Amino acid sequence: MSSALNSDIQFLSGVGPKRAALLKTELGIETFNDLLHIYPFRYIDRSRITPIAEVRGDLAYVQIQGTVVSSTLIGPGGSTAMAAGGPIPLRAAKRLSVIVDDGSGRMEMVFFKGIKWNYERLKPGNAFLFFGKPSEWSGRLNIVHPEIDAPLMGGAEAKGTLTGVYPSTEKLKNGGITGKVMCKLQSAALAVCLPDIKENLPDYVLKDNALVPLAYALRNIHFPADHYALEKAVRRLKFEELFFLQLSLLKQKYIHSRGSVGIPVTKVGAAFNSCFNTLPYELTGAQKRVIREIHNDMKSGHQMNRLLQGDVGSGKTMVAVLSALLAVDNGYQACIMAPTEVLAQQHFANISKYLVPTGVRCSLLTGSSTQKERREIHAGLEDGSIGIIVGTHALLEDNVVFRALGLAIIDEQHRFGVDQRAKLWSKGPGIPPHVLVMTATPIPRTLAMTLYGDLDVSVIDELPPGRKPVKTTMISDAKKGAVYNFMEKQIALGRQVFVVYPLIFESEKMDLNNLEMGYEEILRRFPDPAYKVAIVHGQQNADVKNFNMAAFVAGRAQILVSTTVIEVGVDVPNASVMVIESSQRFGLSQLHQLRGRVGRGAEESYCILVHDYKTSAEAKKRLELMCATNDGFEIAEEDMKMRGPGDLEGTQQSGLPIKLAIASLAKDGRMLNEARIYADKVLNADPKLESQANRLLAEELRKGKYNTKDYSKIS
Ligand code: ADP
Ligand code: MG
């Protein structure tokens, strides 16, 4: 069926093949319809004219109406050249300076491009309407490259109250597609397409959610009749986007959870009970609840796909162990995969302790396992004598074959790629194993809902009792002496100290130099034999690294100088101070992860954010936030607001299931929730969207953009 909406963009009046190519590469626009779905990201209220006397350098956009007083060409040598040498020939001019007077004051308009054209039209004595962003330049206000219109005649209303500002690029502008041209194109597209725009939401959905029709929304998002119409248009388009996103994710989940066969992990047996009964502490309410959720999933007859979120130190390891034992009690094996060797070793050491009373055999498989160890492990996994295997990526190798893998646990999920997960899934006994993904990156709820809409999410929202928030301060590196004095006092109390340096790329020589210089400085301040200082970084070979790490874990070294290799998981309860050097270079989530390494014991603990004098205002804001709160979710929410969801640490690989054109995960959390609840309601009544009433919804979901790379397809 042909409709104007599907027409090739080059045939829109004002476009043509050249601009069409630009629109395609720069904004992905191929059809009229694509164009109509590029929305303004803000609007300028052009109904207001600002008197020059009220203009300030920090104002956003202003509109000024005034008369040209003078128009001066300025040469390469700047204004001095002009003063010395009279008028400059047009072609030699580098800049055009136009002074405008509106009765309240005077202001300069500056042009570096289009000099000739503007020189010829901005004749002194004539009035114009100028529009642009004021800036301050050596104490004087000006507007560089303002938009220029004919002046408004006496008493006339300013035209088009709200003007959309569209996303643009340098190439678009150079290709002649300026903001003004974009408005014209949208107007042309609307003119031919409006009769063809078909509603894609059923009537009942519009009514239930008080949404305006699509045609109305598209017209008013581009050319708002007024603020009120704009608000309605925005709400409709955002809701639509979030609703379809949730509908597509939840539909997969509905189908998946009804269709997939899961390994039956029903009984709670001897291994689980003997571990549970000998725990050195009482599980927190949250840990108990999460274990119940996991057990319910694993005995449901369907495959579990669960994301376990818990802030650092919330006790996820214990949940992993008990879940693994549930699998073992039912005749299956479990694997626990960690992102780094250090972490796998630590997991293995901890888990082995918990397993002593159970008699379950547990092994460790990493890149540095010897050939002999490997042979034994491979055999043990194949004959089923190994119940629980802890390891790194080495677990994914083809020659690792399980007798009956029932549960795969992945710690710190974001470090694994999609393909790697798929490999693990395929190691099940014909049926994919249950999957538990654990993450300490507190993903904001809105983002989790979007990224993992098809996953069930459990949250450990309670820390073990007795944990005190980590006291956090920021300090300039000029006051390093005070930091060392503080470290000395803590060490005298028997505590240990982490000192972390940023190492963005392990190969960056500069960073490593910083680390080594810092290490030497600390050695001078904390000399042997009174003090032992260990150092750990990615360039060391595994033996050295493990030796140094072990010295700190065992308390033989009081100070551990390291790069972020200790970021994830490492647990030294006696460490009470975390010093983060060049902390301005870390992201919020990373700072939070690092800080989570202390505050695990009962003592007061401290995090000291050392920053250098060059720290930007933005980085200072991050550090201040760290000082203000210990709540990982709050930090993650702020992080998302500051950086935008696509950029959030730990989520780059996952990517958003669809590209959002108007809704924002950072800002529209409430509407996302609303849309999800409503999508759930729709699917509950009609899981496959087969009813006549839902025909439009099914049609929309069949479109390519909702084909998400989700977990249910991987397993
Ligand atoms: P994370 O969620 O960061 O992986 P861990 O599982 O490493 O946290 O647990 C952090 C510390 O808390 C460990 O030392 C662990 O032994 C301890 N722990 C876990 N659960 C409890 C609990 N219910 N009560 C007291 N301590 C606990
Ligand atoms: Mg952990």
Please, where in the chain does CATH 1.10.150 lie?
A: 1-46+160-197
Q: CA–CA separation, 190 vs 168, rounded Å?
A: 20
Residue whose CA lies nearest to ligand 1 atom number 25: 464
Per residue in 342-394, pLDDT (tens digit) is: 788 888 988 999 999 999 999 999 988 999 999 999 999 999 999 999 999 89
Q: Which residue has the higher pLDDT, 119 or 254?
A: 119
Does the domain at 1-46+160-197 match CATH 1.10.287? Answer given as no
Instruction: Ligand 1 pocket test: pick from 571, 597, 600 the residue with the most ligand atoms within 8 Å of its Cβ.
Output: 571
Residues with CB under 6 A from ligand 1: 281, 283-284, 287, 310, 312-318, 440, 464, 569, 571, 573, 600
For residue 414, list its beta bridge partners.
none
State the Cα–Cα distance between residues 217 and 627, nearest whole angstrom. 44
Rounded distance, CA 582 to CA 518, Å? 11
- How far away, in angstroms, is 354 Cα from ligand 1 center? 12
CA–CA dist 222, 163 (Å, integer): 8
CB 581 within 8 A of CB 500: yes
Q: Which ligand has the minimum distance to the alpha carbon of residue 597?
A: 1
Indicate the top mutation candidate among 281, 309, 311, 441 to test ligand 1's pocket, ranked by most ligand atoms within 8 A of CB: 281
Residue 68 has pLDDT above 70, yes or no: yes
Angle at 233 between CA 230 and CA 239, to 5 degrees: 135
Ligand nearest to the CA of 465: 1
Of 251-255, 418-422, 565-569, 637-641, minimum mean pLDDT range: 565-569
Nearest CA to ligand 1 atom 15: 315
* Closest residue CA from atom 4 of ligand 1: 316
Where are the domain boundaries for CATH 3.40.50.300 in the chain?
270-460, 471-629
**Per mean pLDDT, which range of 52-61, 71-80, 377-386 is the poorest?**
71-80
Q: For residue 460, which ligand has an atom nearest its CA? A: 1
What is the atom index within ligand 1 of the atom nearest the CA of 318?
6
DSSP bridge partners of 68: 100
Name the closest ligand to CA 338.
2
Report the chain's C-alpha Rg in angstroms. 32
- pLDDT value of residue 403: 95
- Give pLDDT tens digits for 578-592: 999 999 988 887 888
Task: Pick the atom of ligand 1 nearest to 466's CA.
Answer: 25
Ligand nearest to the CA of 463: 1
Distances (CA, A) of 83 to 78, 295, 391: 9, 85, 76
Which tens digit of pLDDT belongs to each residue from 480-509?
999 999 999 999 999 999 999 887 555 556
Ligand 1 atom closest to the CA of 314, numbered from 1: 2
Mean pLDDT of 188-200: 93
The pLDDT value recorded for residue 704 is: 66
Determine phi and psi for 244, rounding to 5 degrees: -65, -35
CA–centroid distance, 707 to ligand 2, in Å, is 33
**Beta-strand runs (E) in 492-633:** 496-500, 533-536, 559-562, 575-580, 606-611
Residue 458 has what pLDDT? 85
656 pLDDT exceeds 70?
A: no
Residue pLDDT, tens place only, 596-638: 888 877 789 999 999 988 888 888 989 999 999 988 878 877 8
The residues facing 196 across adjacent strands are none
pLDDT value of position 714: 31
Distance 537 CA to ligand 1 centre (A): 25
pLDDT the model gives residue 158: 47
Ligand 1 centroid–CA 532 distance in Å is 27
Q: How far is the CA of 648 from the centre of ligand 2 (A)?
A: 20
Which phi and psi (to 5°) does residue 109 adopt? -110, 135
Taking CA atoms only, the protein residue closest to ligand 1 atom 10 is 313
The atom number, within ligand 1, closest to the CA of 319 reads 6
The pLDDT tens digits for 84-118 are: 456 677 778 888 999 999 999 999 999 988 888 89
Q: Give residue-wise pLDDT tens across range 20-48.
A: 999 999 888 999 999 999 999 888 777 77
Distance between Cα 317 and ligand 1 center (Å): 7
Q: Ligand 1, atom 24: nearest CA belongs to which residue? A: 464
Instruction: Tell me the C-alpha to C-alpha distance, in Å, between residue 374 and each of 118, 369, 380.
Output: 77, 6, 10
Q: Quick check: 646 pLDDT over 60?
A: no
Query: What homologous superfamily does CATH list for 60-148?
Result: Nucleic acid-binding proteins (2.40.50.140)
Q: Report the predicted TM-score, pTM, of the whole model to 2 decimal places.
A: 0.62
Query: How far is ligand 2, taken at its centre, from the CA of residue 234, in Å?
Result: 42
Atom of ligand 1 nearest to the CA of 596: 3
Name the residue of 307, 309, 314, 411 to mutate for ligand 1: max ligand atoms within 8 A of Cβ: 314
Mean pLDDT of the chain: 85
Distance 568 CA to ligand 2 centre (A): 7
CATH homologous superfamily for 471-629? P-loop containing nucleotide triphosphate hydrolases (3.40.50.300)
Within 10 Å of residue 660's Cβ, how many Cβ atoms?
17
Distance 121 CA to ligand 2 centre (A): 68
pLDDT of 183 higher than 50: yes
pLDDT greater than 80 at residue 516: yes
Kindly state the percentage of the chain with pLDDT values over 70: 87
Residue with the smallest CA separation from ligand 1 atom 18 is 315
- CATH architecture under which domain 270-460 falls: 3-Layer(aba) Sandwich (3.40)
CA of 316 to the centre of ligand 1 (A): 7
Phi-psi label, residue 502: left if phi above 0, alpha if psi -120 to 50, beta otherwise: beta
| Atom nearest to 287 CA in ligand 1 | 23
Distance 629 CA to ligand 1 centre (A): 21
Using pLDDT thresholds of 50, 70 and 90, give the confidence band for residue 695: very high
Q: Which pLDDT score, from 0 to 100, does residue 576 have? A: 93
Atom of ligand 1 nearest to the CA of 320: 6
Atom of ligand 1 nearest to the CA of 283: 23
Instruction: Output the CA 552–ligand 2 centroid distance in Å.
Output: 18
Q: Report yes or no: 645 and 656 within 8 Å, Cβ to Cβ.
A: yes
**CB-CB contact of 458 with 540 (8 Å):** no
Ligand number with the minimum distance to the CA of 344: 2
57 Cα to the center of ligand 2, angstroms:
50
Ligand showing the shortest atom-to-Cα distance for residue 336:
2
| Best residue for ligand 1 mutational test, from 318, 340, 350 (most atoms within 8 Å of Cβ) | 318
Report how far residue 527's alpha carbon sits from residue 547's, in angstroms, rounded to the nearest whole number: 20
478 DSSP 8-state letter: G
Give yes or no for residue 419 having a pLDDT over 70: no
Domain with CATH 2.40.50.140 in the chain: 60-148
Residue identifier of the C-alpha nearest atom 16 of ligand 1: 315
State pLDDT tens for residues 550-585.
899 889 999 999 987 665 556 788 999 999 999 998
Atom 9 of ligand 1, residue of closest alpha carbon: 315
> How close is the Cα of 297 to the center of ligand 1, in Å?
23
488 CA distance to ligand 1 centroid (A)? 28
Decide if pLDDT at 712 tops 60. Answer: no
